Structure 1
Amino acid sequence: MARTRLYLVRHGEQDPASDHAPEGGLSRLGREQADRLGRRLRTVPFSTIHYSPLTRAAQTADVVAGHLPRVPKHACDHAADRTPVPSAERRGLYPDRWHAWLDGVPADERDEDAVALRAAVHHLGVTGDEDRHELLITHNFVIGWFVRHVLDAPDWRWIGLDQANCGITTVQWDSDRPPALLSFNDTGHL
């Protein structure tokens, strides 16, 4: 039975001086969070580190990779910052109380009907001939979408599944059973 275990991690705290700009880097606390995360994960037999192309995720990956020197890392579009929003046809599947908030999602973050996030799950959430462990350094809503998928929850249920900076969520795919949530937002290392 082959298995894939994904460790989903939200990047370290962004520097507040960046005013949440897309290219904002890590704060001093964010670097400390990433260092603690790297120390926590140093014994996991990772095959790769995927990270979002945004600066805060790339910097988190750099710090973590210092504790995993033999593990290759790469910017990965599947880890990019996205907000799944419903199309007009699917809007009714989301509770009314979220519509105004979803309408305000910036155009560059919108992932209509979660097309890109579904592709990310399809690409990363598969088993092969051998067991593998992969680290995905990404963003809050991406992790929420993976958790929603693994739990087979309604599309809108990613909302409210908030992750701490550098918290660890672990999901697993086995070749002979449905995917499973192994841990959610583990912050014991912080």
Structure 2
Amino acid sequence: MIKIYLTRHGQTQSNVDRLMQGWADTPLTPLGLQQGQRLGEQLRSVPFSKIYCSPSQRAYQTASLINVFQQTEIIPTKGLKEMHFGQLELKKEPEGKTWQQLLLRDWTDIGGNNLDIVAKQMHTTMDTIVHTAKDNTNILCVTHCFSILSFLSIIDQPFFEQCLNNDDKVENCRLTILQYEKGQYSIEAFNESI
């Protein structure tokens, strides 16, 4: 069995300003830096064979804060990127829209992508990661809110629907823990702090 720890990056300035932040980047806030450090301390007793992260600065910075306690290889991985919001990148979130509506909207009409594209990208990436991992190891992936939810939509559709219905958005530096065994992913924990 392989255990996969998925986490969203720490808080960014765009999170504070409620800007659409997909492929665009803003730095971690002081709180975001603290969140990354705290998560690193909480995970210090979990030995990770590898740490993968989205190539976004905010994800790499969070991975680096966690890696202070790990001293392992960090591998920037394109397939862990966030949803792309096209022409709305770094613009104010549309007034009156819920995060669920933003997640489910098709952004391809303004140069972005959508849930289906991100879900397939995440699934392909996670399959590649687990197929190159040794059995009985732990892997950390530092990624993004919609990336994590998109992956859950493929591996456990009822759980994904429950997240939407219960307003369970992935919070900064919270953990979603998956188990991978015999070609199957299962959810052990979602949006947890340890």
TM-score range, shorter-chain basis?
Answer: 0.7 to 0.9
SS in 2 for 1:24: coil
- Per the TM alignment, residue 141 of structure 1 is displaced from its structure 2 partner at its CA by 1.2
In structure 2, the partner of 1:171 is 178
- In structure 2, distance between residues paired with 1:101 and 1:150: 17
Instruction: Tell me if the contact between 1:168 and 1:185 (Cα under 8 Å) persists in the aligned partners.
Output: yes
> Which of 102, 105, 114 is matched with 1:102 structurally?
105
Correspondence for 1:88: none
Hey, which of these two has a bigger chunk of strand by percent? Answer: 1
Match of 1:183 among 178, 182, 189: 189
Q: Distance in 2 between matches of 1:67 and 1:138?
A: 19
TM-score, with length taken from structure 1: 0.75
Long gaps (5+) in structure 2: 85-99
- Partners of 2:12 and 2:42 lie apart in 1 by 20
After superposition, give the CA deviation of every residue in 1:148-168 in whole Å (9 maximum; x if it has no partner): 333244987775551110001
1:82 Cα offset (Å): 2.3
What stretches of structure 1 of length at least 5 have no aligned partner?
84-96
Post-superposition offset of 1:115: 3.2
- Aligned-residue sequence identity (percent) comes to 24
Are 1:11 and 2:6 an aligned pair? no
* Count of residues in correspondence between the two structures: 172
Match of 2:151 among 136, 146, 149: 146
Which residue of the partner structure matches residue 93 of structure 1? none
Check conservation: 1:168, 1:183, Cα contact below 8 A: yes
Matches within 5 A, 1:18-33: 19=19, 22-33=24-35
Kindly state the Cα deviation for residue 45 of structure 1 after the two structures are TM-superposed.
1.5
* Amino acid corresponding to residue 80 of structure 1 in structure 2: K
Equivalent residues in 2 for 1:68-79, closer than 5 Å: 68-69=70-71, 71-79=72-80
Contact 1:38-1:66 within 8 A present in 2 as well: yes
What is the root-mean-square deviation of aligned Cα atoms in Å?
3.2
Contact 2:149 2:160 in 1 (8 A): no
Distance 1:24-1:5 versus aligned 2 partners, 3 A rule: same
Q: CA deviation at 1:119?
A: 1.3
Match of 2:37 in 1: 35
Asked whether the equivalents of residues 61 and 137 of structure 1 are also in contact (C-alpha less than 8 Å), the reply is yes
Give the alignment partner of residue 51 of structure 2, picking from 38, 49, 70: 49
Whichever structure has more helix as a proportion of its residues is 2
**TM-score after normalising by structure 2:** 0.74
Give me the whole-angstrom Cα distance separating, in 2, the residues matched to 1:107 and 1:59. Answer: 27
Cα deviation, residue 98, structure 1: 4.8
> For 1:37, what is the secondary structure of its paired residue?
helix
